[in-house]
Amino acid sequence: MVVDGVSMADIFELFRKIGRGNAVVGKPEFIVVGLGNPGSEYEGTRHNAGFSAIDYIAGNAGIRIRDLKFKSLMGRGEIAGRPVMLLKPQTFMNLSGTAVKEACDFYDVPPERLIVISDDVNLDPGRIRIRRSGSDGGHKGLYNIIYSLSSDNFPRVRLGVGRKPDEWDMVDWVLGKMGREDAEKLVSTFESVNESVRLIIEGRTDDAMGKFNGVTPNGEGTDRHGS
């Protein structure tokens, strides 16, 4: 049966996700972290792109991010059939690593099964870039995670928020709110981010990089290099 273009199967799946909530499905095998700053004054800023993306992933997976633990807001559930924890550190960006390390140590999750989602001022809005490891690229949150874990061997998904104009200070730029057009371009990437996280969890990081690196939602602007 189809009601207003929505099948009963889709409706039952939605109810299943809602009912599951934060059901504990076993020890997390993966931790997916969205970076940002806590507080309503930072909502919609470039630096909070990771928070926004993790909220989208949580909604898609039926995971409620509402528990306070590991200096973070967190929720647990399943993605790609694997138990995961979604994390939004509440330590402010520059100390993100303290929260991430606490969660990784508690559940004995190695860096290669940590996925970090962050903003990137070197990418235009509407583009994402996936790496399986590497440097912080000047991002203070990634720097602190690398420092805290003593490892850069974790995959990350970086979301374009636009390059800083010469006349802007970097702090003011990343803590500034995006204009409507750029914000819409950012939001349009969230389904690609969601799928890329799923592919990484399935062990298909190369597929995620090949499919999404530098590609806009309409499929233009391919940039498939780099790991």
**Residue 31's beta-bridge partner residues?**
85, 114
Confidence class of residue 204 from pLDDT cuts 50, 70 and 90? very high
> Is the pLDDT score of 160 beyond 50?
yes
Residue with tokens 């939001």: 187
Residue 133 lies in a domain: yes
| pLDDT reported for residue 26 | 82
DSSP 49: H
Residue 122 lies in a domain: yes
Looking up residue 164, the CATH number of its domain turns out to be: 3.40.50.1470
Alpha helices by DSSP H, listed for the chain, are 8-20, 49-61, 96-107, 140-149, 170-174, 180-187, 190-201, 205-212
Where in the sequence numbering do the catalytic residues fall? 47
Cα–Cα distance measured from residue 127 to residue 159, given in angstroms and rounded to the nearest whole number: 6
Cα–Cα distance measured from residue 192 to residue 109, given in angstroms and rounded to the nearest whole number: 25
Confidence class of residue 162 from pLDDT cuts 50, 70 and 90? very high
Per the structure, the count of domains in the chain is: 1
Name the pTM for this structure: 0.85
Residue 200 lies in a domain: yes
Residue 194 lies in a domain: yes
Confidence class of residue 2 from pLDDT cuts 50, 70 and 90? very low
Residue 12 lies in a domain: no
Q: Taking the CA of residue 102 as centre, how many other CA atoms within 13 Å lie in the half-sphere pointing to its CB?
A: 17
| pLDDT reported for residue 61 | 97
Residue 91 belongs to what domain range? 27-212
Residue with tokens 């606490």: 102
